[in-house]
A and B are shown apart, each in its own frame.
Chain A
Amino acid sequence: MNLETVLILSGIIFTIGLYGSLTKKNSIVVVMCLELMFNAVAIAVIGFSRFRPPQVLVDSDVLSPLNVLSGHMMAVFVIAIGAAEVALALALIISIYKIKGNIELTGLNNLKN
């Protein structure tokens, strides 16, 4: 296993997420696809962090756990913030359901032109 493999995996997942978020009618599915895209990025960043330790920094004086693990940290933040977005999205979808009675994205086009 090397970085290439990880990046290709990340790319595939990202594309699946992208496809879903652009084509699915159900807004919850769209939100799930968004989450897939977030996770694709998280995979990529962990891959970079694992396979490409910061060589440039070895000879510089800022080498610290913070630098070595920054990719992992980034992944943690991505997961956390992704969760926040999903929570917000679900809240919104519930409100929309209360008003419109469905959660189809196709119905949401009053604002246009």
Chain B
Amino acid sequence: MSIENIYWLILLIPFIGFLINGILFSIFFKNYSKISGFVTVTSVFISFVLSIFSLINFNDKGVQLLDSFDWLMIGDVGIKTGFLIDPLTSMMLIVVTGVSLMIQIYSIGYMASDKGYSRYFSFMALFTFSMLGLVLSKNLIHLFIFWELVGVSSYLLIGFWFKKNSAVVAAKKAFLMTRVGDFGLMVGILFIFSKGQQYLDIPTLYKGVSSGEFQGSGLLIMCILLFLGAVGKSAQFPLHSWLPDAMEGPTPVSALLHSATMVTAGVFLIGRLFPLFESSSEIMVIIAIIGGFTAVFAATMGVVSDDIKRVLAYSTISQLGYMVLALGSGFYAAAFFHLFTHAWFKALLFLSAGSVSHATGTFNMKFMGGLRKHMPITYVLTLLGALSLIGIFPFSGFWSKDEILGHIYLQNSPISMVLFILASLGVFLTALYMTRVIMLTFHGSYKGGISSENSSNSKSEDNDHPTEPHESPGIMLFPMIILGFLSVVIGFLVNPLIDLGFVSKHAFSHFLEHNLFFDDPKEFHFVFEVAIISTILAILGIVSAILVFKGKLNIKNNFVYKILINKYYFDEFYENLIVKKFFYNKIGSLLSWIDENIVDKSNAKISDFTIYLSKKMSNVQNGHLQSYGFVFFMALTVLMIVFFISNLNTGDSWLDLINKLNSEIY
């Protein structure tokens, strides 16, 4: 089997899984819907194994550009299907299929009693397919199609419990806010198209950038538009506010889409078009500042939120901010190293949150506490994930985050100092909110879970005794244990400081640089003093969180707390000011006036006329065959005369014509 077919299989097998689940089990064999979980797991597993094969193959062959066949050709403007296989793609294939596999296994347990079981698994398979398509695309048009497909599957999955109003609202919000970014991306792609249709092909685009085709004034606008797409998808400031709301979906969905894979699509896009961004120094600064700001900004909101999934969502935004920051500072390898490690431990944290809510029935941390005794395995795993996220030696987050921090530190410019301070602040805040999560959830005493939440909201009248929380079933713990193991070791294993024998020094970073646009191999450093600084900040964060938890420090009810708990009033800003005041009242009413008075009225006139014409014409169709024949011969005569007159040479009369006809014969 040729390598090209392997990539086709990686891409299409989840799609087949989607079709089987979506058509067979959702419509025809509803009684056998339990099989659908197995179908999705199997299809993702096959894709995962093939991804590993392809990674091994990639190590042998290097970057490959595979063209399969012409997909759509209009004139000489053509789009070919094909795959761009570079280190980024290979890495993303492993991340997407690997994390997806773990989460699908987990979902079998988590979603077991849900009515939409096979619908859920068909959407998950669809998402995996779209994400794989996104990372494999060689062409910006395909990339955009899959980008939108990813958005659609995200919409479907956030709104999975569509009977819950908040889920529907959240799905709509996520879809609309990412659309703002998608619009930027689309216009950006059209910009690239306007420079020449061949540049839709990404490798050609790289060549075009390196030969200086994209210089000039349009470059910055083009890059800002493309970056807007990344901002929307990766929930960066100011389009961040959809991601916390997206937690309304099932927890495995949050783990897969809204932490590990889908939201990294924006980061992936910046990486994919890195040469283009790199050629404009202004956009790089903008990217870096947005990333650094988001990293801190989101973390502050995470500190006060009471919903465990929302905290993790803010944490995701913040970590994505780190990746964007790294890319903006030009540290391609560091950014994707962090993406890689983050995927595993953040998935783990989400799955733990799911496991906790499985036991308590709620996501509100106020009603948890003391779960350490009831669910020890989950506790240990959450701890591992949290330590990794905080960046404690030797967990994987430590290595990737310090690589970003270290590089910024070494850059030594005024801007980079600001960025470094922002990033360090982020480290402190990360430690703070993660420790808070651990303390509120697992320490102290149990506060009754869902039942006490309901009674505190006085929704249900019967005040049950809190049921005893219990450890999750094995099928949920198994993927968590694997992810926990990976969170601990993977950072050091794939990108070690020293030569390990089976893994060479800085293997991962060097691997990533083997792509189409980096010519000279770079040096990678581990900066010792930065590691010390970040560790101190992290410990500081942990300690202050513990102090707050023990009641030594009181942070509630002051001005800052109020701003944070209201998410900087961003939702109000978007909702009241932009949507209601501006769009709804001003633009909306204007448009509806135009619609009613101009468009509708003229439409009515036109359609009335057409109907009138139709009535008149049907009088000719009177059912008499001889009148049909008459119409035919009339038309024939008229057309004949018209064509003869129009083709008579100037000066010729009808007599000349007849003479010509005669002269032809003799």
Please tell me if the beta carbons of A108 and B623 are within 8 angstroms of each other in the complex. yes
Q: Which chain A residues lie closer than 8 Å to B618 at the CB level?
A: 113
In the complex, are the beta carbons of A110 and B623 less than 8 A apart? yes
Does A21 sit at the interface, judged by CB under 8 A? yes
Q: Mark A95-108, 1 if CB is under 8 A from B, else 0.
A: 00000000001101
The interface residues of chain A lying within 8 Å CB-to-CB of B662 are: 4
Is A22 part of the contact surface with B, judged by Cβ < 8 Å?
yes
In A1-59, which residues have CB < 8 Å from any B CB?
3-4, 18, 21-23, 30, 51-52
The docked-state distance in angstroms from the alpha carbon of A110 to that of B191 is: 60
Closest beta carbon of chain A to B121's beta carbon, Å = 53
Which of A4, A21, A52, A106 has a CB less than 8 Å from the CB of B624? A106
Q: Confirm or deny: A66 has a beta carbon within 8 angstroms of a beta carbon on chain B.
A: no
Contact for A23 among B622, B623, B626, B665, CB less than 8 A: B626
Using CB atoms, name the residue of chain B closest to A111.
Answer: B623
Distance, CA A18 to CA B630, complexed state (A): 9
CB-nearest residue of chain B relative to A106? B624
Q: How far is the CA of A67 from the CA of B291 in the complex (A)?
A: 84
B147 CB, min distance to chain A CBs, angstroms: 51
Residue of B nearest to A27 (CB): B625
**Contact (Cβ within 8 A) A52 B626:** no
Q: Does A60 contact B (CB under 8 A)?
A: no
A64 at the binding interface (Cβ < 8 Å) = no
Interfacial chain A residues near B621, Cβ < 8 Å = 112-113
B521 is an interface residue with CB less than 8 A from chain A: no
Contact with B along A71-113 (1 / 0, CB 8 A): 0000000000000000000000000000000000110111111
Contacting residues, chain A, for B626 (C-beta < 8 A): 21-23, 30, 105
Residue contact A22 to B633, C-beta cutoff 8 Å = yes
Task: Determine the distance from Cα of A112 to Cα of B341 in the docked complex, in whole angstroms.
Answer: 74
Docked CA distance A105–B626 (Å)? 8
Which B residue sits closest to A3, measured CB to CB?
B665
- B623's partner among A18, A21, A22, A109 (CB-CB below 8 A) is A109
Chain B residues with CB under 8 A of A18: 633
Q: Is B501 an interface residue (CB 8 A)?
A: no
A52 to B625, CA, bound (A): 38
CA distance A109 to B662 in the complex (A): 44
Kindly state the separation between the CA atoms of A108 and B148 in the bound complex, as whole angstroms: 58
Measured CB to CB, the closest approach of chain B to A85, in angstroms, equals 15
Nearest-neighbour CB distance to chain B for A15, whole angstroms, equals 10
Q: Which of A30, A52, A105, A112 has the most chain B CB atoms closer than 10 A to its own CB?
A: A112
Least CB distance from A109 to B in Å reads: 3
Chain A residues closer than 8 Å to B633, beta-carbon distance: 18, 22
B624 to chain A: closest residue by CB: A109
Contacts of A23 in B (CB 8 A): 626
B651 contacts partner chain A, Cβ-Cβ < 8 Å: no
Question: Residues of A contacting B218 with CB < 8 Å?
Answer: none
Interface size counted on chain A using CB atoms at 8 A: 17
Residues of chain B in range 619-643 having any CB-CB distance to chain A below 8 Å? 621-626, 629-630, 633
- Secondary structure class of chain B's binding surface, majority of residues: helix
> In angstroms, how far is the closest chain A Cβ from the Cβ of B400?
75
Whether A22 pairs with B624 at a CB distance below 8 angstroms is no
Q: Which of B587-631 touch A at CB < 8 Å?
A: 618, 621-626, 629-630
In the assembled complex, which residues on chain A have CB atoms less than 8 Å from the CB atom of B625?
Answer: 105, 108
Tell me how far the C-beta of B40 lies from the nearest C-beta in chain A, rounded to whole angstroms: 55
| Interface hub of B624, B626, B629 (most chain A Cβ within 10 A) | B626
Q: A105–B629 Cα gap in the complex (Å)?
A: 13
What B residues does A30 contact at CB under 8 A?
A: 626
Choose one: B622, B624, B630; the contact of A105 (CB below 8 Å): B624
Do A52 and B665 have beta carbons less than 8 Å apart? Answer: yes
In the complex, chain A residues whose CB is within 8 Å of the CB of B665: 3-4, 51-52
Question: By CB atoms of chain A within 10 A, which of B623, B629, B633 has the most?
Answer: B623
How far apart are B314's CB and chain A's nearest CB, in angstroms? 68
Whole-angstrom CA separation of A52 from B665 in the bound complex: 7
Report Cα–Cα, A3/B666, bound state, in Å. 9
Which single residue of chain B is at the shortest CB-CB distance from A4? Answer: B662
Q: In the complex the two chains form, what is the Cα distance from A108 to B633 in whole Å? A: 21
B622 touching A109, Cβ below 8 Å: yes
Task: State how many angstroms separate the Cβ of B627 from the closest Cβ of chain A.
Answer: 8
Closest to B627 in A: A22
Complex: how many Å from CA A3 to CA B665?
8
Q: How far is it, in angstroms, between the C-alpha of A52 and the C-alpha of B629 when the chains are bound?
A: 32
Specify the chain B residue showing the minimal Cβ separation from A21.
B629
CB distance from B396 to the nearest CB of A (A): 77
Give the nearest-CB partner of A108 in chain B.
B625
The answer for the CA separation of A34 and B375 in the assembled complex, in Å, is 96
Is B622 in contact with A112, judged by CB distance below 8 angstroms?
A: yes
Contacts of A108 in B (CB 8 A): 623-625
Q: Say whether B623 contacts A112, CB under 8 Å.
A: yes
List the B side residues contacting A51 at CB < 8 Å.
665
Q: Which chain B positions have C-beta within 8 A of A21?
A: 626, 629
The complex places the Cα of A4 from the Cα of B664 at a distance, in Å, of 12
- In the assembled complex, the Cα of A86 lies from the Cα of B625 at a distance in Å of 17
Distance (Å) between the CB of A112 and the closest chain B CB? 3
- Determine how close the nearest CB of chain B comes to the CB of A60; give it in whole angstroms: 19
CB neighbours (8 Å) of A52 from chain B are 665
Name the one of A3, A22, A109, A110 contacting B630, with C-beta atoms under 8 angstroms.
A22
A23 vs B622: C-alpha distance in the bound complex, in angstroms?
15
Min CB distance A6 to B, Å, is: 11
- In the complex formed, the residue of A with least CB distance to B628 is A22
**What distance in Å separates the Cβ of B633 from its nearest Cβ neighbour in chain A?**
7
Interface residues of B in 402-454 (CB under 8 A from A): none
Q: In the complex, A113 Cα to B618 Cα: how many Å?
A: 5
A residues in contact with B630, CB < 8 Å: 22
Q: How far is the CA of A112 from the CA of B628 in the complex (A)?
A: 11
> Whole-angstrom distance from the CB of B614 to the nearest CB of chain A?
10
Which chain B residues border A109 with CB–CB below 8 Å? Answer: 622-624
> Once the chains are docked, how many angstroms separate the CA of A21 from the CA of B633?
12
Q: How far is the CA of A108 from the CA of B624 in the complex (A)?
A: 7
Residues on the B chain within 8 Å of A3, using CB? 665
CB distance from A54 to the nearest CB of B (A): 13
Instruction: Please measure, in the bound complex, the distance between the C-alpha atom of A106 and the C-alpha atom of B629, giving whole angstroms.
Output: 14
Interface centre among B629, B630, B633, B665 (most CB of A within 10 A): B665
Closest to B662 in A: A4
The distance in angstroms between the C-alpha atoms of A109 and B621, with both chains bound, is 10
Alpha-carbon separation in the docked complex, A112 to B618 (Å): 8
A50 to chain B, nearest CB (A): 12
List 3 A-B pairs, minimum CB-CB distance, nearest first: A112-B623, A109-B623, A113-B618
Which A residues contact B (CB, under 8 angstroms)? 3-4, 18, 21-23, 30, 51-52, 105-106, 108-113
B-side residues, CB < 8 A to A, are 618, 621-626, 629-630, 633, 662, 665
Q: Apart from A3-B665, A21-B626, A22-B630, list 12 A-B contacts with CB within 8 A.
A: A4-B662, A22-B626, A30-B626, A51-B665, A109-B623, A110-B623, A111-B623, A112-B621, A112-B622, A112-B623, A113-B618, A113-B622
15 contacts between A and B (CB under 8 A): A3-B665, A4-B662, A4-B665, A21-B629, A22-B633, A105-B624, A106-B624, A108-B624, A109-B623, A109-B624, A110-B623, A111-B623, A112-B622, A113-B618, A113-B621
